[in-house]
């Protein structure tokens, strides 16, 4: 390139072309060039910008790699509340919906509906001022969400600037667009595979992965997550009159926003129901999770007449797909040993395809579950995946038994170490009692190294297995004695990777106190309680020396936790492992008084809260107690009066009910943040 002007022109041209191809790819789903050609344009632009920083621009498509990290999210107020949808679970309920619409409009014929795939992700509102994306926020409770602007700006499908194609309606000066941000199944699987290798906790389903990715304080992380989005509606639309939802979808598309190309205009109920069946057939082949069809009365003046209830419009409904189920044979039951010695039975299945994923294993939870469901080895069983990673055995098909099925017996000896297995009174689970069981050691080390604990990057499952198998590591302190020379003897290690891992291990020598406490794996002490204990006792020594009475007196610590902490420190093996860590120079940093977080309890004052599923960091009783102390009313069933549903693992029907009623659902992490 000869002079600065040519260069500037080329850079502008590249940016224009990339923006155009983004639009072809994401908005029209109709790319004109191959991925490789696109990458080439992108790299040329990156190279030019890197070589000529004076040409860099915050508007450049290359800027979608992230923005400076935030301390916390701001509140995003929705100018028009983001409502939820009522569900139809079967054809009968769809017909009822249609009849209600007919009745309220006083019209029998000529009711058209738009049919849009109900994307299983999270709702986000985009604010465009004079065609430029200025802010973006999550749905939150429908009135206030979190401002996730930098994160949304990394999503390539979402244009920073709108443009009107010829014949398109003019772009409103003030416009808010509602969209669903989601992750493709394939990208979700890749992400989880990567996380597993890194020893990081897995996301349960693509929806959680999308939500977790969007709610990152560091947008550089979001940028790596390959999020997608489809737009389906507006909140504010200033200076433009449209007649129908279908025109609206087309306008969005013509302004460069991505709209699901599978959306259709249906004339009457018959076509609407046909569309449902058609999409259900396509469902396994779609690259993303769809949990139903959203129908909206097409005419906007009719929508206006039908109006809204408190949480949902009367002019729209979500006709849900049934959960994914399949029949297969349970070939055998294997027993897995976790870090605390708990034995978990896992069903080995004849491979079966469920929603486009081949299932080979499913959890059976524990012995009580197997007995309650009367599941036997050799049974034909129904398995279910509710968009989750871990499929579940729902029930056996008793009518298909031929007498060859066997009842499962929990082994009396640990499958990993042959140690004694016992079932303690009052516990649902069986445990291996051998403290030097390799499966437990591996589990404990994985936990120790994990992100929320000591955060040792690169120390994943496979490497830990090798280290334990070869007798190189027996307890966490041994990690700090490893040398590069030790690691290069392991398969797959070169000098560079060995040096990196040793570096990562050494870097973890001065953990903050909450991470260290969590890393120890004290029973019942999850990351939240670790933070609570750290806050109260300030130093590791103080906590270790404290009495049961002082522990129970601490806010947020119940008698079970206090007992567990005392028992942990009184155990001789634990004491030795801790001594070894301290001796080798691992030094948890004491908490400074100013690090103690502020009281956020006002958030809970007067709210009605329902718990569902199993929380990882505390028991249900503890959660109830803490919520009550924070001023909330904890109720056992979901109703229109519920403000928040807190969702743990394996949430039950309360979650569905909450979703149906449009009640805000909070995951455990958010819950802990709001308690902290």
The string over 383-408, giving b where at least 16 C-beta atoms fall within 10 Å of a residue's C-beta and e elsewhere, is bbbbbbbebbbeebeeeeeeeebeeb
Q: Is 322:400 a contact under the CB 8 Å cutoff?
A: no
Q: Is 254:168 a contact under the CB 8 Å cutoff?
A: yes
Please say if 118 is a catalytic residue.
Answer: yes
User: Positive or negative, the Cα torsion across 139, 144, 145, 147?
Assistant: positive
Q: How crowded is residue 278: how many other Cβ atoms within 10 Å of its Cβ?
A: 14
Residue number with the shortest CB distance to ligand IVH?
Answer: 123
Minimum distance from CB of 492 to ligand IVH (Å)? 43
Minimum distance from CB of 389 to ligand IVH (Å)? 21
Minimum distance from CB of 136 to ligand IVH (Å)? 14
**Which residue reads 């949480």 in tokens?**
311
Minimum distance from CB of 168 to ligand IVH (Å)? 21
Q: For the chain, give percent helix, strand, coil, nearest 5.
A: 40, 20, 40
Minimum distance from CB of 385 to ligand IVH (Å)? 20
Strands 664-667 and 644-647, bridge-based pairing: parallel
What is the residue-wise DSSP string for 35-101?
A: HHHHHHHHHHHHHHHHH-GGG--TTSGGGTT--PPPSSPPEEE-SS------EE-SHHHHHHHHHHH
Distance, CA of 578 to CA of 76 (rounded, Å): 45
Distance, CA of 173 to CA of 158 (rounded, Å): 18
Which residue's CB is nearer to ligand IVH, number 89 or number 590? 89
Which residue's CB is nearer to ligand IVH, number 445 or number 655? 655
Q: How crowded is residue 360: how many other Cβ atoms within 10 Å of its Cβ?
A: 13
Which residue's CB is nearer to ligand IVH, number 180 or number 442? 180
Which residue's CB is nearer to ligand IVH, number 314 or number 601? 314
Residues that bind ligand IVH (CB under 6 A): 83-85, 116, 118-119, 123, 139, 180, 232-233, 294, 313, 316, 318
- By C-alpha distance, which of 229, 204, 227 is closest to 215? 227
Minimum distance from CB of 93 to ligand IVH (Å)? 15
Distance, CA of 399 to CA of 382 (rounded, Å): 13
**Which of the following is catalytic: 9, 118, 461, 462?**
118
Minimum distance from CB of 419 to ligand IVH (Å)? 49
Distance, CA of 77 to CA of 138 (rounded, Å): 10
**191 HSE (CA, 13 A, CB side):** 26
Which residue's CB is nearer to ligand IVH, number 118 or number 447? 118
How buried is 454 (Cβ within 10 angstroms: 0-12 exposed, 13-18 middle, 19+ buried)? buried
**Cα-flanking dihedrals φ and ψ of residue 627, to 5°?**
-65, -40
Which residue's CB is nearer to ligand IVH, number 316 or number 498? 316
Minimum distance from CB of 84 to ligand IVH (Å)? 5
Cβ neighbours of residue 372 closer than 8 Å, sequence gap 6 or more: none
Which residue's CB is nearer to ligand IVH, number 119 or number 647? 119
Residue 349 DSSP label = E
Which residue's CB is nearer to ligand IVH, number 207 or number 446? 207
* Residues carrying an active site annotation: 118
């Amino acid at each position: 390139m000869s002079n600065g002007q040519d260069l500037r022109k080329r850079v502008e041209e590249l940016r224009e072309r990339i923006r155009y191809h983004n639009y072809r790819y994401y908005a029209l789903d109709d790319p004109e060039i191959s991925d490789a050609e696109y990458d080439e344009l992108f790299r040329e632009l990156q190279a030019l910008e890197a070589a000529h920083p004076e040409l860099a621009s915050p508007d450049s498509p290359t800027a979608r790699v992230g923005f400076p990290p935030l301390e916390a999210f701001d509140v995003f107020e929705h100018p028009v509340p983001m409502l939820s949808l009522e569900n139809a679970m079967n054809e009968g309920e769809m017909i009822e919906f249609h009849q209600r619409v007919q009745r309220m409009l006083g019209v029998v014929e000529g009711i058209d509906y738009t049919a849009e795939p109900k994307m299983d992700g999270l709702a986000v509102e985009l604010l465009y001022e004079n065609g430029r994306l200025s802010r973006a926020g999550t749905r939150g409770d429908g009135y206030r969400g979190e401002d996730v602007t930098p994160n949304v700006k990394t999503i390539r499908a979402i244009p920073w600037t709108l443009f009107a194609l010829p014949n398109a309606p003019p772009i409103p000066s003030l416009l808010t667009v509602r969209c669903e941000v989601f992750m493709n199944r394939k990208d979700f699987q890749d992400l989880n595979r990567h996380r597993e290798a890194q020893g990081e906790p897995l996301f349960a389903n693509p929806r959680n992965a999308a939500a977790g990715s969007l709610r990152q304080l560091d947008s550089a992380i979001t940028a790596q997550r390959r999020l997608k989005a489809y737009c389906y509606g507006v909140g504010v639309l200033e200076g433009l009159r449209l007649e129908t939802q279908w025109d609206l979808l087309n306008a969005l598309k013509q302004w460069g926003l991505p709209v699901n190309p599978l959306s259709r205009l249906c004339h009457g109920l018959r076509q609407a129901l046909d569309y449902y069946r058609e999409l259900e057939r396509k469902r396994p082949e779609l690259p993303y999770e769809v949990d139903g069809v959203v129908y909206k009365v097409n005419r906007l003046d009719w929508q206006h007449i039908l109006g809204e209830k408190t949480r949902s419009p009367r002019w729209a409904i979500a006709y849900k797909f049934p959960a994914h189920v399949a029949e297969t044979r349970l070939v055998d039951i294997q027993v897995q040993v976790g870090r605390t010695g708990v034995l978990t039975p896992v069903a080995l299945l004849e491979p079966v395809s469920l929603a486009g994923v081949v299932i080979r294993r499913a959890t059976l939870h524990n012995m009580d579950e197997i007995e309650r469901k009367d599941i036997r080895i050799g049974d034909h069983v129904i398995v279910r995946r509710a968009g989750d990673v871990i499929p579940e055995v729902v029930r056996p098909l008793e009518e298909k038994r031929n007498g060859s099925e066997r009842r499962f017996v929990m082994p009396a000896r640990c499958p990993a170490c042959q140690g004694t297995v016992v079932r303690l009174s009052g516990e649902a689970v069986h445990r291996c009692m051998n403290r030097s069981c390799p499966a437990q050691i591996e589990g404990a080390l994985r936990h120790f190294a994990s992100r929320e604990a000591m955060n040792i990057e690169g120390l994943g499952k496979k490497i830990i297995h090798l280290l334990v198998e070869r007798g190189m590591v027996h307890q966490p302190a041994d990690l700090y004695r490893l040398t590069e020379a030790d690691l290069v003897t392991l398969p797959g290690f070169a000098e560079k990777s060995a040096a990196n891992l040793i570096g990562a291990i050494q870097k973890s020598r001065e953990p903050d106190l909450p991470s260290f406490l969590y890393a120890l794996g004290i029973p019942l002490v999850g990351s939240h309680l670790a933070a609570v204990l750290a806050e109260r006792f300030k130093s590791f020594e103080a906590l270790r020396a404290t009495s049961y009475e002082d522990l129970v007196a601490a806010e947020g610590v119940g008698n079970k936790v206090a007992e567990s902490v005392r028992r942990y420190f009184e155990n001789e093996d634990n004491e030795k492992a801790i001594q070894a860590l301290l001796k080798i120079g691992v030094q948890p940093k004491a908490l400074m008084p100013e690090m103690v977080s502020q009281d956020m309890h006002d958030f809970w004052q007067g709210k009605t809260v329902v718990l569902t599923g199993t929380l990882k960091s505390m028991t249900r009783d503890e959660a109830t107690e803490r919520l009550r102390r924070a001023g909330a009313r904890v109720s056992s069933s979901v109703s229109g009066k519920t403000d928040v549903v807190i969702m743990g693992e394996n949430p039950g029907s309360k979650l569905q009910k909450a979703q149906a009623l449009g009640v805000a659902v909070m995951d455990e992490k958010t819950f802990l943040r709001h308690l902290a």
